[in-house]
Amino acid sequence: MSHHFPQDMPTSRSVCALDRTVSHGIPALLPRPWHLRALPFLAALFLTGCQTLGVDVYKPDVRPSDQPQTAENAANADPRSRIGANEHPRIVASYGGEYRDQRTEKLLARIIGKLTLVSENPKQAYRVTVLNSPAVNAFALPGGYVYVTRGLLALANDASEVAAVIAHEMGHVTANHGIERRQREREEALAERMAETSISGGLAAKQEIAQSKLRLAAFSRNQELEADAIGIRMLGEAGYDPYAASRFLESMEAYGRFMAVDPSSDQSLDFLSSHPNAPQRVELAKNHARSFGADGTVDRGRDFYLDGIDGLLFGDSPQEGYVRGNTFLHPKLGIRFEVPPNFRIDNKAEAVMATGPNDLAVRFDGVSESSRRSLSDYMASGWVTGLIPGSIRETRIGGFPAATARARADRWDFDVTVVKVDDRIYRFLTAAPLDSPALEPTAETLRSSFRKLTAGEAQALQPLRIRIVTAKPGDSITTLAGRMRGTDRKVELFKLLNSIGPGASVVGGNRYKIVTDQ
């Protein structure tokens, strides 16, 4: 749960929208039940890709000079930087804050320094921020604000792959794609409003709105392909492996399948996606790379990259709580609960989400509550839309005061359960299609498994990290994957993190990534 709970971050560099339970309160209202229509589909982690691709200015020992050109200095002369500066605090807060690690920062400084020298606008300053999120994502804002998540750094296998991502995002910046997209979105929104008003919502209006969305999608896809071409040219000219772009696109596609609830689903059917489909994009990236020579002729920068990410936080951070299989545990708050088998838990920015078979979904969050009102009164205070009169029942869960109720809205039934622990109320919202027999058993699993962690249990919980190991003679994919802890599908995840394709095996003496809490 990325941003509900206290996070110890330096106040001088953080915008602490992270502590939504203690300091700021969860967004004041639990999302209305109509919003939960999307919940059954939240389990799939779709790579949002870039939305048009900065870490604070690096430490003195890695700056190119005593008076570097920084994004802050450049903002005085570049009005575009004000757009990025205004949005930057919101981006950082919504992604769990900045991930601060000196080795990682030096690694990125080395990469972006080489890319800047060959960029189309060498005078453009860049602020590269590593976001403290396990999601695999990268994007840019106008004015040189570039973002990569630590989840993306964990997935990449060498410096060239990360350089490919950053070069792509620098391409968005130098091509002014963020500005262009904003303008195009305004134009298409105006066209939609005119169609709705002038044709009174008839068939012609619907057709015009659909065409407007298609135009915007095609515009976005063209921007992505243009940024690909710019980025691959920069890769080759900076001395990085130009084939890294296509390689990492394939890794991202594989990661999307790994994280999807239905790996067989064809995500390319989403014709309004802002990105070209993966096979087309990979082939175009390879074509661009061929202008720099054959594949395998350039050092990929794997060794120094692995050195830079050894110890990188993987998955959830201690401030967010941990997902271990079908259990959510929060060592700081000292609570835990389980979801039924075949459910998948996602630690989202706004709440913990869990999705299961047959369109079942769960939302869990917490809010400060110091008043002495009863939980029945709290349940009936208006934050639940569609609450069924007379359904509220007070009870005890895990030894703490609790209440349950039912709600109904649109095509969904809801079980609402609240538990009060000291001055906090924890809230479970379980959604199921109307009259589903699975609603009550799912909610009962949550209720019966909720309890406080013992001091020993909380102390024993450690975050997962990327560790770099060297394969010894006799090692195999199975033996190295067997060294991983705290993860499911170990062999599959090991192969994914190390980009090991079908039929391939580990090589003695080579270095590999594993995930462990040790």
Domain borders along the chain are 50-178+221-313, 322-459, 474-516
* Mean pLDDT, range 262-266, rounded to an integer: 43
Would you state the pLDDT for residue 120?
79
Would you state the pLDDT for residue 475?
96
pLDDT tier for residue 146 given thresholds of 50, 70 and 90: confident
Q: CA 366, 367, 371 angle in degrees (round to 5)?
A: 135
Q: Which of 270, 178, 269 is nearest to 227 (CA)?
A: 178
Would you state the pLDDT for residue 77?
54
Distance in angstroms (rounded) separating the CA atoms of residues 100 and 285: 32
DSSP 11: T
How many Cα atoms are found within 13 Å in the side-chain-facing hemisphere of 14?
21
Would you state the pLDDT for residue 503?
93
Given a cut of 80, whether residue 49 has pLDDT beyond it is no
From residue 223, give the alpha-carbon distance in Å to each of 229, 248, 327.
10, 19, 41
* CATH of the domain spanning 322-459, picked from 3.40.50.970, 3.40.1000.10, 3.40.50.170, 1.10.3210.10: 3.40.1000.10
DSSP strands (E only) in 315-378:
322-324, 327-330, 335-338, 344-347, 352-355, 361-368
Q: How many CB atoms lie within 10 A of CB 507?
A: 10
Would you state the pLDDT for residue 267?
40
Would you state the pLDDT for residue 239?
93
Most confident of 99-113, 124-138, 470-484: 470-484
Would you state the pLDDT for residue 237?
93
Most confident of 131-135, 229-233, 369-373, 392-396: 392-396
Given a cut of 50, whether residue 50 has pLDDT beyond it is no
Here the contacts of 148-153 (C-beta below 8 Å, separation 24 or greater) are 148/53, 148/108, 149/95, 150/99, 150/104, 150/312, 150/313, 150/314, 153/104, 153/309, 153/312
pLDDT in tens, 291-324: 898 888 889 999 999 999 999 999 988 888 999 9
pLDDT in tens, 64-87: 444 444 445 545 556 667 777 888
Distance in angstroms (rounded) separating the CA atoms of residues 285 and 229: 7
pLDDT tier for residue 261 given thresholds of 50, 70 and 90: low
Would you state the pLDDT for residue 42?
27
Q: How many CB atoms lie within 10 A of CB 188?
A: 18
The residue with greater pLDDT, 237 or 16, is 237
What global pTM score does this model have?
0.70
pLDDT more than 70, % of the chain: 72
Least confidently predicted of 250-259, 357-366, 415-424: 250-259
8 Å CB contact between 513 and 497 = yes
Given a cut of 50, whether residue 51 has pLDDT beyond it is no
Average pLDDT, the chain: 77
Chain length of the chain: 518
* Mean pLDDT, range 265-275, rounded to an integer: 39
pLDDT in tens, 200-237: 445 554 454 455 444 444 446 777 888 888 889 999 99
pLDDT in tens, 434-471: 999 999 999 999 999 999 999 999 999 999 999 999 99
> What residues contact residue 312 under an 8 Å CB cut-off, 6+ apart?
101, 104, 150, 153, 154, 465, 466
Three-state secondary structure call for residue 509 = coil
Helices vs strands, H then E, count in the chain: 15, 17
Handedness of CA 407, 355, 40, 156 (dihedral sign): positive
Would you state the pLDDT for residue 76?
55
